[in-house]
Amino acid sequence: MNKLVNDTVLDRLVKEDADEAVVASALELARSAFTAWKTVPISERSQLLRAVRSQLLNHMDEMVETIAEETGKVITEAIVSEVVVACEVLSYYASHAQDILHTRSVFPGLLIHKRACIRYEPLGVIGVISPWNYPLVLAIGPVATALAAGNSVILKPSEYTPKTGVLIAKLIARAGGPEGLVQVLTGHGPTGEALVRSGVDKIAFTGSVRSGKAVMRAAADHLTPVLLELGGKDPFIVCKDADLDRAARACVWGSFTNCGQTCMATERVYAVKEVYDIFLDKVLALTARLRQGNEPGDDVGAVIHEGQLGIIDSHLADALDKGARVAYGGKHVDVAGRPSIQPTVLLDVDHSMAVMTEETFGPLLPIMKVEDEDEALRLANDSRYGLNASIFAKDPRTIEKLVAGIRSGNVCVNDVMISYGIPALPFGGIGDSGFGRSHGPEGLKEMSHLKSVAEDRFGLGREPSWMPVPSWLSRAVKTGLRLLYRPGRAGLYNSTGQPLYVNGSRVES
């Protein structure tokens, strides 16, 4: 472990708020580390990711205990939703970064006497601002993609989960990460703002819509590009032919895992009238069986802090004032010294209520009866968010209609929240849920500069269009265009859209 990321230094960071001077110093070191790291072959960068995965497994107990301590989530959630997904993300990019980032030749179209290619090159220093609800996996994703693409990283974890952020930096240092390659700076809002304004080459931010807008405003001063993964108000549609047992289990887990503090959580349910009563009975029976606490066998943990509990309480009170009723839960509880609230099922809800329109980020499950799938789709799209959606149905035509019609960056069919656990799938939202993509090839390219290269193949003395322009050029171009694009022809492409020529040689259709 290098001298600047040893355990003593990192542990001290937990108690400190990095100011502008500290951020500037970190940026200088990160730029120095980037100069060397960008020349490291992708295969060796992949080896570092595998080594980080090994360190995570070696120190899994410490990581899980730290996450549970800082967030209040149960141990099982910390293992399954954090460590498992983190290992998958590290494995995916270690295995696929080489293929995703290789220089790609493209067909030059009419200019068949040219070569054309796309290169993927690192951006520089990536600032990662990660949230408290999944402090490991929502930090390791952008960190891993940044490293695989050849960048250095400055990580600013949430002020509520600084120990987890520091532990991530320890794992990378123990895996052999060079000095300054990944630095962690702890602190509150001013630290994050200082990082955004520091002149880093990109910001990857995960958090609330309000904070995301503040990040964009601060980033505008340097025209710093941003990747924003913001909130969600994710709909859950239960169709008349759904497997109700599976749908109910998915609904309860999707709403109450991590005490509802998940951007992809089930935050509003639309069940068609034919199955509403049966579905509701199943949800209530499952909810009644949940165990809330911080013991290994418990199902639901705690709300992160009293501020978040206040938001949850305000949504609950607003719903009750407007005619909703509590079918289960609704009471405050103490979970290992943390004020929290029971998993709560709400009925008689509508879109006049904040609980159906604003992100709650807590264990409130509002269920609304709808006339049919068309009404469910209309209400699902009646939102400024668009992160994730779940659809439960059997008819392929219904599924296709809803998948195609729903306004969302991600859709789970007969499942819930699982898309984030598939690292090959790009993840991100539309509308107030943000823009840009993490995971998949797109996530790696987000951390890259795309450089287009065009090259002359033959070294001719001049091009026909260069000045002085030949007198015959206009007439020849007109004739050529009419021949090339006459009705029934696709120019230099065949009927499937593939080029007819590669490197000057005709390809058989």
Task: Report the chain (509 residues): mean pLDDT per 10 consecutive residues.
Answer: 52 78 97 98 98 98 96 94 97 98 93 94 98 97 98 98 97 96 97 97 97 97 97 97 98 97 96 98 98 92 96 98 98 94 98 98 98 98 98 98 98 96 96 96 97 95 92 94 84 72 57
Specify if 486 maps to a domain. yes
Same domain, yes or no: 208 and 255? no
Token pair 């952020």 in the structure block, residue:
165
Q: Is 259 among the residues known to form the active site? A: no
Same domain, yes or no: 19 and 66? yes
Catalytic residue among 87, 239, 251, 263: 263
Same domain, yes or no: 417 and 320? yes
Same domain, yes or no: 166 and 295? no
Residue 307 pairs in a beta bridge with: none
In three-state secondary structure terms, 119 is strand
CA distance 450 to 459: 26
Specify if 340 maps to a domain. yes
Looking from the CA of 174 toward its CB, the CA atoms found within 13 Å total: 16
Same domain, yes or no: 163 and 303? no
Q: Is 117 among the residues known to form the active site? A: no
Backbone φ and ψ for 300, nearest 5 degrees, come out as -125, 135
Token pair 């995971």 in the structure block, residue:
439
Contact 264, 387 (CB under 8 A): yes
Same domain, yes or no: 253 and 138? no
CA distance 253 to 287: 9
Residues spanned by the domain of 247:
234-422
Q: What pLDDT, on the 0 to 100 scale, is given for residue 492?
A: 78
Q: What pLDDT, on the 0 to 100 scale, is given for residue 1?
A: 42
Q: How many domains does the chain have?
A: 3
Question: How much is the pTM?
Answer: 0.93
Specify if 427 maps to a domain. no
Same domain, yes or no: 286 and 358? yes
CATH of the domain at 126: 3.40.605.10
Same domain, yes or no: 202 and 295? no
CATH of the domain at 369: 3.40.309.10
Specify if 434 maps to a domain. no
Question: What is each CA distance from 134 to 145, 196, 338, in whole angstroms?
Answer: 17, 21, 18
Q: What pLDDT, on the 0 to 100 scale, is given for residue 485?
A: 87
Specify if 433 maps to a domain. no
Same domain, yes or no: 17 and 164? yes
Specify if 59 maps to a domain. yes
Same domain, yes or no: 339 and 220? no
Catalytic residue among 70, 82, 193, 229: 229
Q: Which class for 120: exposed (0-12), middle (13-18), buried (19 or more C-beta within 10 A)?
A: buried
Start-end of H helices in 151-208: 162-174, 189-196
Same domain, yes or no: 83 and 19? yes
Q: Give the chain's largest Cα–Cα span.
A: 86
Specify if 51 maps to a domain. yes
Q: What pLDDT, on the 0 to 100 scale, is given for residue 204?
A: 98
Same domain, yes or no: 495 and 402? no
